[in-house]
């Protein structure tokens, strides 16, 4: 079980840096030049945000990687316990569960305005990419069904 949690944490943290931020990179450098993409997702900020976060002042991308690792550990436990198709389950888990928490629990904990009802398309895309990448990195070490 410790091996599963550690593998999930590492895969989730790396998936933030490669897949989540890779998607942000593509949207920033390519999507901002396509009017239809900007109309659907809005203008995308540059990836790898190094601005400090509260309360510890660590760079945003490192905070995202830590939380990606925490979610990755949970995802690894789910994948080994339930044994679904890893890539599909992880992509949907990332897109739906992480985005739901990002628009409801996180703002509430930070004292920010809650979700305004608009569909967070960019969050669904980023978090789905994270889930996809996490699954790719976990298939072999955890002997999962792709």
Using one digit for the tens of pLDDT, what is the confidence trace for 40-72? 898 999 999 999 988 789 999 999 999 999 999
Domain limits for position 88 = 2-142
Task: Provide DSSP, 102-134.
Answer: HHTHHHHHHT-----S---HHHHHHHHHHHHHH
Mean pLDDT of 21-50: 94
Mean pLDDT of 107-120: 82
pLDDT at 110 over 90: no
Mean pLDDT of 5-13: 97
Q: Are 72 and 8 in contact (CB under 8 A)?
A: yes
| Per-residue pLDDT band at 119 (split at 50, 70, 90) | confident
Residue 81 CA to residue 133 CA, distance in Å, equals 19
What percent of the chain clears pLDDT 90, i.e. is strictly above it?
77
Number of structural domains found in the chain: 1
pLDDT at 10 over 80: yes
Q: Are 135 and 93 in contact (CB under 8 A)?
A: no
Q: Residue 45 contacts by C-beta under 8 Å, 6 or more apart in sequence?
A: 24, 28
Q: Which helix (H) or strand (E) holds 35?
A: helix 35-41
Residue 140 CA to residue 62 CA, distance in Å, equals 26
pLDDT at 25 over 90: yes
Q: Residue 21 contacts by C-beta under 8 Å, 6 or more apart in sequence?
A: 47, 48, 61, 64
Question: What is the residue-averaged pLDDT of the chain?
Answer: 93
């Amino acid at each position: 079980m410790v091996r599963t949690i550690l593998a999930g944490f590492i895969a989730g943290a790396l998936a933030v840096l490669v897949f989540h931020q890779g998607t942000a990179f593509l949207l920033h450098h390519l999507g901002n030049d396509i009017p239809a993409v900007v109309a659907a997702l809005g203008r995308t900020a540059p990836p790898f945000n190094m601005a400090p976060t509260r309360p510890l002042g660590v760079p945003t991308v490192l905070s995202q990687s830590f939380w990606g690792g925490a979610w990755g550990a949970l995802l690894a436990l789910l994948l080994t316990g339930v044994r679904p198709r890893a890539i599909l389950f992880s992509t949907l888990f990332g897109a739906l569960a992480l985005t739901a928490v990002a628009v409801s629990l996180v703002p509430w904990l930070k004292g920010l305005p809650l979700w305004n009802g608009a569909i967070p398309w960019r969050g669904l895309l980023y978090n789905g990419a994270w889930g996809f990448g996490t699954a790719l990195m976990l298939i072999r070490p955890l002997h999962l069904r792709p």
